[in-house]
């Protein structure tokens, strides 16, 4: 969460300039940003939410994060219209902040990332079980590569947002080799995967330790299994 807010805050302030004063956003992630993190899909949305925390007449400050989440996509579109921005513009601002941070102080930028307990060690062990790790992320590949190197992970493949949607990437991978499973913390992404011809039989796992919405782990549809840390630690061959 720390790096998400740090980068989103800096990108936002660069876009709005000094119109809201010299330092209008707090250093620590505001509660509204934390609460809305499970709804965020693309990085540009983080920048937009940071900006909405400056807009006193906007729905986020007027009605709160819970109300904003009810019509999240509509609210984001309305916010884009209000600011006169495009998603690509915000994504580029975010990636430029990250790029500059890596160039200026790589170690400090990496230190803002806190992996979930036990996950890195478990991923390192996949190779010993005869499985390849492939990373699909909505983060830019260049930044993810830096993180993987920092955590001493060398995946068989890495696909950032530049490679297309996760469904598109999975279809390409499935055409090349058998896929043992797909772990993700966005339920809607898993549902999209299972609804895609060619991927409907792919074992899908919802990571319980991720940024889940309050209702995400309830009444999961057939084909999606909730993956708890205890199950993650077990040999992959024993996963449900």
pLDDT digits (tens, 9 = 90+) for 26-42: 999 999 999 999 999 99
Please name which of 65, 34, 93, 87 lies closest in space to residue 211, comparing C-alpha atoms: 34
Q: What is the pLDDT of residue 134?
A: 98
Q: Which pair of tokens denotes residue 124?
A: 């390192």
Distance separating alpha carbons of residues 7 and 21, to the nearest angstrom: 19
Reported residue count of the chain is 240
Instruction: Using 70 as the pLDDT threshold, list the residues of the chain that sit under it.
Output: 19-20
Q: What is the pLDDT of residue 22?
A: 72
Q: What is the pLDDT of residue 90?
A: 98
Q: What is the pLDDT of residue 237?
A: 86
**May I ask the CATH architecture of the domain 119-238?**
3-Layer(aba) Sandwich (3.40)
Helix, strand, or coil (residue 234): coil
Q: What is the pLDDT of residue 17?
A: 86
Domain coordinates of the chain in residue numbers? Answer: 2-111, 119-238
Distance separating alpha carbons of residues 190 and 55, to the nearest angstrom: 34
Count Cα atoms within 13 angstroms, Cβ side, for 79. 27
Q: What is the pLDDT of residue 224?
A: 97
Distance separating alpha carbons of residues 30 and 27, to the nearest angstrom: 9
Q: What is the pLDDT of residue 239?
A: 87
* Strand pairing category for 204-207 and 182-184: parallel
Please name which of 16, 89, 111, 96 lies closest in space to residue 55, comparing C-alpha atoms: 16
Contact 206, 185 (CB under 8 A): yes
Please name which of 223, 188, 235, 185 lies closest in space to residue 206, comparing C-alpha atoms: 185
Q: What is the pLDDT of residue 36?
A: 98
């Amino acid at each position: 969460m720390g790096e998400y807010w740090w980068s989103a805050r800096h990108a936002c302030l660069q876009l709005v300039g000094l119109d809201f004063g010299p330092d209008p956003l707090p250093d620590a992630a505001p509660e509204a940003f934390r609460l809305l993190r499970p709804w965020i899909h693309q990085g540009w949305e983080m920048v937009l939410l940071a900006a909405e925390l400056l807009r006193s007449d906007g729905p986020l400050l007027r009605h709160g994060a819970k109300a904003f989440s009810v019509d999240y996509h509509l609210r984001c579109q309305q916010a884009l219209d209000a600011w006169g921005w495009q998603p690509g513009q915000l994504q580029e601002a975010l990636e430029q902040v990250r790029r500059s941070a890596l160039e200026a102080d790589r170690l400090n930028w990496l230190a803002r990332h806190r992996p979930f307990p036990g996950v890195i060690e478990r991923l390192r062990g996949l190779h010993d079980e005869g499985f390849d790790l492939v990373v699909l992320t909505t983060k830019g590949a260049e930044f993810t590569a830096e993180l993987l190197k920092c955590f001493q992970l060398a995946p068989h493949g890495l696909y950032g947002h530049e490679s297309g949607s996760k469904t598109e990437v999975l279809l390409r991978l499935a055409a090349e080799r058998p896929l043992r499973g797909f772990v993700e913390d966005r339920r809607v992404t898993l549902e999209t995967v299972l609804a895609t011809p060619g991927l409907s039989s792919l074992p899908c796992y919802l990571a319980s330790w991720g940024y889940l919405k309050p209702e995400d782990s309830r009444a999961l549809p057939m084909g999606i299994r909730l993956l708890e840390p205890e199950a993650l630690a077990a040999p992959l061959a024993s996963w449900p």
